Amino acid sequence: MPTPLDQLRAEHRIIEQVLRALTGLSDRLTRGERIDRASFDRLFDFLITFADRRHHQKEEKCLFPALGQHGVPRDRGPVGVMLQEHCTGRALIAHMKRAASAYVGGDPHAGTQFAEHARNYVELLTEHIQKEDNVLFNVAEKLFDDRSMKSLQDQFDAAEAELGISPQKYVDDAMEMQQNWVVNIPPMNP
């Protein structure tokens, strides 16, 4: 039976689709392709609502405190690093938002600035996800017994109900953004 950690890992796969899309969007901006406001709005809705408010909040409000109850400290070690990276991610989203809004408003340099922040964000989140999948979640799976897993699942269910968003919309958005924005690299000539 899937555990709450498997649920977080599955959300990582959805977030990774958007990271690939974001790389494509940045490449398009760098080569001068025009991106419209609606595309940025859709991207930020995903990053803020799904990746941060749904996924990161479940980690911060449910998983990390549960790890704390099993002796894993919150202010240092792997959890401390994860919290710091969530913070850096939020700052980079704020930078991307400012650059996107300047770009949509006609600033000719803002597209390049957006692309720089976006590449930093993709790099941060890619490594962050690998650390969670391969280190932190394995620690949780070793420490938590069935009762702790059940309690964590109940907390996830309550957090999702409180947030009250439809995850399916974001699953569909992630797939579409990946399909629309990933730049296909043409095969090299022999």
Shortest Cβ 55–Fe ion spacing (Å): 6
Q: Which of 50, 132, 137, 140 binds Fe ion (CB under 5 A)?
A: 132
Burial category of 137 from C-beta neighbours within 10 Å (exposed 0-12, middle 13-18, buried 19 and up):
buried
Q: Binding segment for Fe ion among 69-77, 124-132, 135-143, 174-182 (CB under 5 A)?
A: 124-132
Secondary structure (3-state) at 144: coil
Contact between 173 and Fe ion per CB under 5 A: no
Q: Binding segment for Fe ion among 26-34, 63-71, 127-135, 179-187 (CB under 5 A)?
A: 127-135
Shortest Cβ 179–Fe ion spacing (Å): 23
Are 24 and 179 in contact, with CB atoms under 8 Å apart? Answer: no
Q: Which residue, 124 or 149, is less far from Fe ion as judged by CB?
A: 124
Closest listed residue to residue 91, CA positions, set 64, 39, 62, 52: 52
Closest listed residue to residue 4, CA positions, set 82, 67, 50, 92: 67
Q: Which residue, 132 or 173, is less far from Fe ion as judged by CB?
A: 132
Distance CA 167, CA 159 (A): 13
The token duo for 26 is 């940045």
Q: Count CB neighbours of 68 within 10 A.
A: 13
Q: Which residue, 92 or 115, is less far from Fe ion as judged by CB?
A: 92
Instruction: Give the 3-state secondary structure of 40-55.
Output: HHHHHHHHHHHHHHHH
Which residue of this chain has its Cβ atom nearest to Fe ion in the complex?
132
Q: Which residue, 30 or 78, is less far from Fe ion as judged by CB?
A: 78
Closest listed residue to residue 151, CA positions, set 4, 53, 2, 7: 4
Shortest Cβ 22–Fe ion spacing (Å): 16
Q: Binding segment for Fe ion among 16-24, 32-40, 116-124, 128-136 (CB under 5 A)?
A: 128-136
Q: Which residue, 91 or 180, is less far from Fe ion as judged by CB?
A: 91
Q: Binding segment for Fe ion among 112-120, 126-134, 137-145, 157-165 (CB under 5 A)?
A: 126-134
Distance CA 151, CA 120 (A): 35
Residues that bind Fe ion (CB under 5 A): 132
